[in-house]
Amino acid sequence: MCGIAGIFNFDLDRSISKDVLKRMADTIAHRGPDGEGYFIDAFVGLAHRRLSIIDLEGGNQPMFNERRDISIVFNGEIYNYIELKYELIKHGHSFVTTSDTEVIIKAYEQWGFACQEKLNGMWAFAIWDAREQHLFLSRDRLGEKPLNYMLYKNTFLFGSEIKSILAYTGDLEPDDEMHELYMFLGYIPAPYTYYKSIKKLAAGNFLVVKKNKVNEHTYWDLPDISENDLLKDKKQVTSRLNELLYDSVNIRMRSDVPYGAFLSGGLDSSCIVSTMSEISSHPVKTFTIGFNEKAFDERDNARIIADMFRTEHTEEIVDKSSLEQSIQKVLHHFDEPFADPAAIPTSFLAKSASQHVKMVLTGDGGDEVFAGYSNYQSELFAKKYQNSIPGFLKNVLPGMVGLMASVVTGNSRYKLNRIKRVLDSFNVSFDERLITKFVKIPPSEMKLLMNNNYYPINDFISSTLNNCKLKDPFYRLNYFNLKISLPDQMLIKIDKTSMANSLETRAPLLDYRIVELMYQVDKSLKMPTYTDKGVKHMLKSVMKNKLPNEILNRRKQGFEVPLREWFKDRVFENVLNSTNSSIALNNTMIKKLIEENNKGQFDHGTLLWRILLLQRWMEQSIALPTRLTLPL
């Protein structure tokens, strides 16, 4: 687990400065505090910061083949490197280290670009092939490791974080066209960033840089399957999933340093800790974060699992007093506005764990892979609603509920308004329903808040879902989660917060074999009923004799932050008044959102948080490389 950066000059006579390379690497020193390395070959330069996990003595980078005409900088882990090493030895290759990095070099020598299809892991790497005179950059299938790049003054630049690129270029202009995408999603999806010229390499893609060209290719995608061919044999799927889950956890426990696990007390992390305990000969170290607000606190559930498997358990608390400092750290380490509030407790959790171990396994990806979000229940219910409720009643029900909400107060009004919003969503298309769920206010009100149209969210959703061949809204939601929100929200969050604390995280539920299997499973197995009992049905089937009923059958909570409560503090009214003309938000709408939130009519905490982070980011200096690195 590391940080990488590099330069490719299209002007072949222009040399690379080691001082510049070092400056690019120094901005991401938190990703690799254990070592640094540089390589310059005429017009190409590679930089690396190392966090040592495997082959502590022999895994330094950049690494080379025997002839030194192939070099690599690599961020991530290849979990099946031992198996691949044996296969490559049979092909005549020899090895001088025990690192997974050398396995990538040999795999590239053996299979070329097809080596990506052999790898099981998480990665962002850059290989300079002096024989072919090209730079080959790759990102893992699901997007666990980030990779940013830019064309700047006849030069190709890349880095694990945007700040490495900014260290070369200095300040760059924010891309105002991204405002609408950010306000709806809370993050900027690949290939875009909040900078006009910097791009993210999409998950499952690779670049080939040669002469004056940068060509992007896709080497992996979700299985191409029709709805008629989806798997419906529960016994077969359960058996295969059980095998894959055990193997996925097992190969991710390969490490030469102490490791543990994040434990929330939910099904996903409990599943990982259970399997780790089955494999490990010593107690697993587990780490939990909690809140003073009881409704959001999962520590009691985490203790059930910690006690059951006799783990070495550590707990921490996050409260509102740390909010201001956390905002500054999020802005620094994410390089662009990123409004998933769970970044705050995740960063505290990573900091806590990093004081005991250098690597943890997590339950990340479980909701996307096993259809765990409440939105999946909503889609099943929406279909039932649309098929069973008479047309005239569908039109009047939302209005009736809204009328009831207007004559009550307090929590009752909030709940009724929420029901009305759900009923309204059932009467529109899936695309419109998805957009509404992003911000929990009607898109028309969101447009009013924005004052201007930028890159319309409607166009983005439409172009994304055009690539999904499955037509049922349940499967289209799953496609969107796996292709967009997983890599660009969930995984970037865990990468940034963990690497800011020099901690490696591994996600067994995101083994591509598990993802491919579950994507091909029929929804009748994934979620046989829209009640809580049907959520993550296949994972529960695998774990039913391994976890207690209070964990298997508990209502899904999710790793949420009590923003609604935190934003009732009047101090945020001044902070949230937009003063930046480049955003030009509607102040009247902002005040309305604050008032409705404070009165408990609606939960606007998520949207207010997005506004706050966008304003702070736009108003502060964006010369990120000139700032000191702040640990999260």
Tokens of 215: 């060509």
Query: Whose CA is closest to 271, among 374, 365, 144, 352?
Result: 365
Specify the 3-state DSSP secondary structure of 337.
coil
Per-residue H/E/C for 279-306: HCCCCCEEEEEEECCHHHCCHHHHHHHH
Residues 106 and 196 in one domain: yes
Inter-axis angle of helices 430-439 and 410-426, to 10 degrees? 150
What are the structure tokens assigned to 270, written together?
């409990």
Residue 583 covered by a domain: no
Could you tell me if 207 and 266 lie in one domain?
no
Residue 511 in domain: yes
Beta-bridged to residue 125, according to DSSP, are 74, 138
Containing structural domain, residue 492: 227-371+477-552
Query: Are 139 and 201 in a shared domain?
Result: yes
Pairwise CA distance, residues 15 & 579, whole Å: 44
Task: List beta partners, residue 316.
Answer: 289
Structural domain contains residue 243: yes
Report the distance separating Cα 61 and Cα 54, nearest Å. 13
Q: What is the pLDDT of residues 261-273, one digit of tens each?
A: 999 989 999 999 9
In a domain, 415, yes or no: no
Contact 241, 517 (CB under 8 A): yes
Quote the tokens at residue 361. Answer: 């396994």
Q: Is residue 2 flagged as an active site residue?
A: yes
Tell me: the pLDDT tens digits for 40-95? 998 999 999 976 565 555 568 899 999 999 999 999 999 999 999 999 999 999 99
* pLDDT at residue 578 in the model: 47
- What 3-state class would DSSP assign to 541? helix
pLDDT value at residue 157? 97
Look-up of token digits 């340093």: 257
| One domain, residues 100 and 191 | yes
Structure tokens at 89: 């030895």
Whether residue 597 contacts residue 632, with contact meaning beta carbons closer than 8 Å, is answered with: no
Starting at the edge strand that comes first in sequence, how are the strands of the sheet with 285-291 ordered? 312-318, 285-291, 259-262, 359-361, 504-506
**Per-residue pLDDT at 295:** 74
CATH number of the domain within which 491 lies: 3.40.50.620
CA atoms within 13 A on the CB side of 523: 23
Residue whose tokens read 């200095």: 170
Alpha-helical runs (H) found in 355-390: 366-369, 374-388
CATH number at residue 137: 3.60.20.10
Neighbours of 98 (CB within 10 A): 17
Measured between alpha carbons, how far is 567 from 590 in angstroms, rounded to an integer? 13
Q: Could you count the other beta carbons within 10 Å of the beta carbon of residue 139?
A: 29
The answer to whether residues 205 and 108 belong to one domain is: yes
Q: What span, in angstroms and rounded, lies between the C-alpha atoms of 299 and 362?
A: 16
Residues 47 and 195 in one domain: yes
Are 183 and 235 contained in the same domain?
no
Structure tokens at 500: 């800011």
| Euclidean distance between CA atoms 46 and 32, whole angstroms | 15
Residue 623: inside a domain, yes or no?
A: no
- The series of mean pLDDT values per 10 residues for the chain, 632 residues long, is 91 90 92 88 92 61 94 96 97 95 97 98 98 97 98 95 92 84 94 94 98 95 96 97 98 92 94 97 94 81 96 89 75 89 89 94 97 90 75 65 64 63 74 86 81 81 95 96 98 94 95 98 94 90 94 75 63 50 74 80 82 82 41 37
Extract the runs of DSSP E, i.e. beta strands, from 431-583: 504-506
Of 395, 401, 405, 468, nearest to 434 by C-alpha is 468
Residue 149 and residue 199 in contact, taking contact as beta carbons nearer than 8 Å = yes
Beta bridge pairs of residue 41: 44
**Same domain as 353, residue 244:** yes
Q: Which of 2, 115, 271, 468 is catalytic?
A: 2
Residue 98 lies in a domain: yes
Which residue among 174, 198, 218 closes a domain? 218
234 shares a domain with 198? no
Say whether both 103 and 159 belong to one domain: yes
Number of domains in the chain: 2
Is omega for the bond preceding 62 within 30 degrees of 0, making it cis?
yes
**Are both 115 and 148 inside the same structural domain?**
yes
Using CA atoms, how far apart are residues 536 and 525, in angstroms rounded to an integer? 9
Provide the 10 A C-beta neighbour count for residue 113. Answer: 14
Which of 218, 251, 276 finishes a domain?
A: 218
* DSSP-based three-state secondary structure for 129: strand
Q: From 518, 399, 510, 603, select the one nearest 79 (Cα to Cα).
A: 510
Contact 160, 205 (CB under 8 A): no
Q: Which of 552, 583, 605 is the last residue of a domain?
A: 552
- Answer yes or no: is 232 within a domain: yes
pTM over 0.75: yes
| Residue 456 within a domain | no
Residues 308 and 243 in one domain: yes
